[in-house]
Structure 1
Amino acid sequence: MPSVNLTSAFDKPPADAVAYFKSKGYAVSDEWHDMLTSAHSKAFTVARAQNMDVLSAIRGELDAALTQGLTAKQFNERLTPKLQKLGWWGKAKNAMGDDIQLGSPYRLNTIYRTNMQTAYMAGRYRRMLSRAKTHPYWQYVAIDDGQTRPEHKLLNGRVFRFDDPIWQTIYPPNGWGCRCRVRALTEAQVKARGITVEDGSNYVQPFDAEIISRETGDIKTVPHARVKLPPDDVMTPDLGWAYSPGQSAFGTDTAIAQKLGKVPDPQLRAETIQALNNSPAREAAFELWTKESLARVERYQLAKQANNAAGLKANGPRPQHKTVVSFLADDINQQLIDKGIDPARTLVLSERALAHAHSEKHQQNNTALNVEQYSNLSRWINHPNTQVLWEPARNQVLFVLKQGEVSIKAVVKYAGAGTELDTLINVFKVNSSAIESGINGGLYELWR
């Protein structure tokens, strides 16, 4: 497979890809399958790299490769002597006494190709989302040559809307060395070419796969998915690749939030936060995440009503499936610091919290939001008319947007000093009069 040369792909450093890669934390694993699917979007890991110095060296050179557009050959030439000096090279013995491969030219090529392509596609995903209003149809493109896997060819030319949940599974790369990509099309282009836009919402079939560890011999069960394509074809991504790196990489936003706190100029800090919160690409990404997650929640509720155990397992809300709703405004951040709380500066919504907000109970008592309201959550939290309240008894920040007699309220709970993520735990409709009574009665402090 040819090397991925980012210099030839961009006229300038690929900022989106660089941001994606830099956002990753560090994680240590014995084998590649210990860090499967979307976990790779949040943490950088190399199998069998048990030494943080080794991880730092590899990540540093990958960072340089992304920023400077280095080829695989340049990457290898720079990194090899560093790994040899650290002793991470050649063969070694594992806990069972078997030979394992540490650093080698072949492994460095694999590390380079995998990380370059994943970072590039994550950046491309975000850019495509920013054009979704004018180019709402996405077409899967497989490189048609002797190296292309037959299963990847099955997707070639197929078109789905940008917000079709199938992209969460098939957005490339779909395996080691995958060179597939996605092109965005306008409605006029789709009509002119006579393209059929498919609904892939029911194509994906989740299942549990088994892996035998070469290190220990243990059998591990991991979540995976296959795609059933009409009429009778089946496409299955490589194990660990049935996810979209762009959708999973909300770690980019959390990394940006950490850097915001180090900006000394308060005006520049405030302007940066405002620009981030008003970004059409971010709003589009949040809307897509919300609709896909809410559809999953509703499928889960239908399965629950039908007492369908398989449906419950396949569509249950995923607690680790999260997205950033908004960056915390500077004045609210300072108010929390004054309370002895060290906020993370990002408001994060999990699929589990969304499932709670949209529960049957909340729907029956008419406090649940509709799909459009959930999708606009990111926008109205930053609306100039949104009130920001502090509830001392519960250590909660409330974002309240009044809409006549009914208000939409989002709740962010703070456990105390030092919090990993500012998690939005609930959002629902309340009577506007109840909010006013709480302010007048001293139940809430009005911060904005």
Structure 2
Amino acid sequence: MADVGFLLGLEPKKAIEFLQNKKVAAGKLNQASMIDSATARAISIANLSSLEMTKDIYQSLAEAQAKGIAFGQWKRDLVAHFAKKGWVAGHDKKISRGIDGTILADPKTGELFGTPRRLETIFRTNMQQAFAAQNYQALRDNADERPYWQYSAVNDDRTRPSHGAMDGLIYRFDDPFWSVFYPPNGFNCRCTVIALADRDIERDKLFVSDGEDNLVEHERPLKQGTEKTTAFKLPDGRLAVTDRGFDYNVGKMSYRPNLDNYPETLAHAFAKREMSGGEFRFEVARLEKDMEQIKQRLNLSGKLNEDQMITVRNQLRKEYKFAAGVFSQAIKKQLKSDTATVWISDDTLVKQLNSRLGQEFGFDEYGVLPDVIYSPDKVVKGNRENHFEFLKEINGNRYVAVIKNLNNEIFLQSFRIVESKKWRKLFGSN
């Protein structure tokens, strides 16, 4: 087994939170939602649908990460835990009479997990993902100083050719390339990301690419049929794809930039770039495509009702969010908020795509959202608790952003253009 000791040294808070969140998410899923949900793909274990066993595995992984427990001890402790719960179904003598020959199965369903040999891949993959989530947070927090990221493959005889082909490629931190190909990009992937500053680019005469033009839809062949994924078109025309289930940025699922640590003008500028950047555009477009595919599969069309939306949203959520804006100090004081960052989640984006269907409301409208939040013409208390409506007229359009202020966290609920009559009513004028 490869050395994973570098993951189990000092207590890495973000990595532990990531593993703990996977355990919590597993508890919230149900069997039906695990079929298609992007969240389920992120937290599920290959060929294992037992939610109880999945939760226990992630709980033990989080404890191993926090306590610095090595793989061998983690495996012995976990198998002993399963034995106490009655999940040991016998031994495979062909493998060993010892722990590696233990056959694990869910006693409630009879579902066979296999032997602890599988635990090595689970351990390494999840520790890699936890490290990636922690590293992504650190890289994003330093993006103002080092905004360029370089893909780095190990380039030995174990490196996948597609990963080696991407070695050395450089993109801005918010390039859509990283939405798909931020490592790990497969089981036991050892690729990493190196952050570079402007001076590094100038000194070494490095080339910064634009990944959006090279991201293409691809039909991944399966044992039965195909599935759609996103591929990267290499300079020689070949297509690089991730392993199945790895075509998303695992770090983004736990990313929490704290814009309160920045001067408010810089934080506002960050949000404006976030809402008009290529990564956000790519994710909105991907959500829209995925949403249409699910609607077609369910024989749905047009604007969805509440029950239909719940069904579609459960299959689309990826648990990531973008910084949609930041409160000015004046607004923060007015609303008695402890924080200033306003988030827009993937779940809100799904609702936006449905409610704005048929309206002249495209991606470019989100580019003004940070201005609506930062310097509104007026803030009106909403009809629901902790809800506020931010009003601002920009270039002849009258925008309303509905904000839910939970004090320690703030979320955008909806964003729209309103007609003159509604606008006058909101302002309290005739």
| Short-chain TM bin | 0.5 to 0.7
Counterpart check, 1:102 vs 2:90: no
How much has 1:230 moved relative to structure 2?
A: 0.9
Structure 2 residue aligned with 1:304: none
Taking only the aligned residue pairs, the percentage that are identical comes to: 23
Residue among 217, 236, 244 paired with 1:239:
244
Letter paired with 1:19: E
Letter paired with 2:73: Q
Contact 1:165–1:200 (CA under 8 A) maintained in structure 2: yes
- 1:244–1:283 distance in 2 versus 1, CA, 3 Å: farther
Q: How does 1:262-341 map to 2 (within 5 A)?
A: 288=274, 291=277, 292-295=279-282, 320=317, 323=321
CA distance in 1, matches of 2:105, 2:286: 48
How much has 1:234 moved relative to structure 2?
A: 2.2
CA distance in 2, matches of 1:40, 1:282: 34
How much has 1:68 moved relative to structure 2?
A: 2.5
How much has 1:113 moved relative to structure 2?
A: 0.8
CA distance in 1, matches of 2:395, 2:216: 43
Runs of 5+ in structure 2 lacking a partner? 89-101, 289-311, 405-409
How much has 1:66 moved relative to structure 2?
A: 2.0
Structure 1 residue aligned with 2:134: 123
TM-score (norm 2): 0.68
Letter paired with 2:133: A
CA distance in 1, matches of 2:356, 2:51: 44
How much has 1:355 moved relative to structure 2?
A: 4.6
Structure 2 residue aligned with 1:194: 205
TM-score (norm 1): 0.65
Q: How does 1:141-152 map to 2 (within 5 A)?
A: 141-152=152-163
Deviates more, 1:158-167 or 1:168-177: 158-167
Runs of 5+ in structure 1 lacking a partner? 213-218, 254-271, 302-316, 335-344, 414-420, 443-448
Structure 1 residue aligned with 2:379: 387
Contact 1:294–1:355 (CA under 8 A) maintained in structure 2: no
Contact 2:7–2:131 (CA under 8 A) maintained in structure 1: no
- The secondary structure found in structure 1 opposite 2:382 is strand
CA distance in 1, matches of 2:217, 2:356: 23
Cα-Cα RMSD: 4.9
CA distance in 2, matches of 1:347, 1:372: 13
- The secondary structure found in structure 2 opposite 1:227 is strand
- How many pairs were matched up? 372
Letter paired with 1:205: V
- The secondary structure found in structure 1 opposite 2:4 is coil
Structure 2 residue aligned with 1:23: 21
Q: Deviations over 1:79-135 (max 9, x none)?
A: 2211222233444789xx99954341x212111111111111112112211221221
Residue among 241, 246, 253 paired with 1:248:
253
Q: How does 1:40-439 map to 2 (within 5 A)?
A: 40-41=41-42, 43=43, 47-48=47-48, 50=50, 52=52, 54-89=53-88, 90-91=102-103, 100-104=112-116, 106-209=117-220, 211-212=222-223, 219=224, 222-249=227-254, 288=274, 291=277, 292-295=279-282, 320=317, 323=321, 348=345, 350-353=348-351, 355=353, 361-362=359-360, 370=365, 372-374=367-369, 376=370, 381=373, 387-391=379-383, 397-401=388-392, 408-411=399-402, 424-428=413-417, 435=423, 437-439=425-427
Contact 1:126–1:281 (CA under 8 A) maintained in structure 2: no
Structure 1 residue aligned with 2:428: 440
CA distance in 2, matches of 1:281, 1:121: 25
Letter paired with 2:87: W
CA distance in 2, matches of 1:277, 1:4: 38
Contact 2:276–2:364 (CA under 8 A) maintained in structure 1: no
- 1:210–1:387 distance in 2 versus 1, CA, 3 Å: same
Contact 2:275–2:323 (CA under 8 A) maintained in structure 1: no
- 1:331–1:56 distance in 2 versus 1, CA, 3 Å: farther
- 1:158–1:357 distance in 2 versus 1, CA, 3 Å: farther
- 1:185–1:273 distance in 2 versus 1, CA, 3 Å: closer
Structure 2 residue aligned with 1:339: none
CA distance in 1, matches of 2:262, 2:418: 27
CA distance in 1, matches of 2:82, 2:269: 42
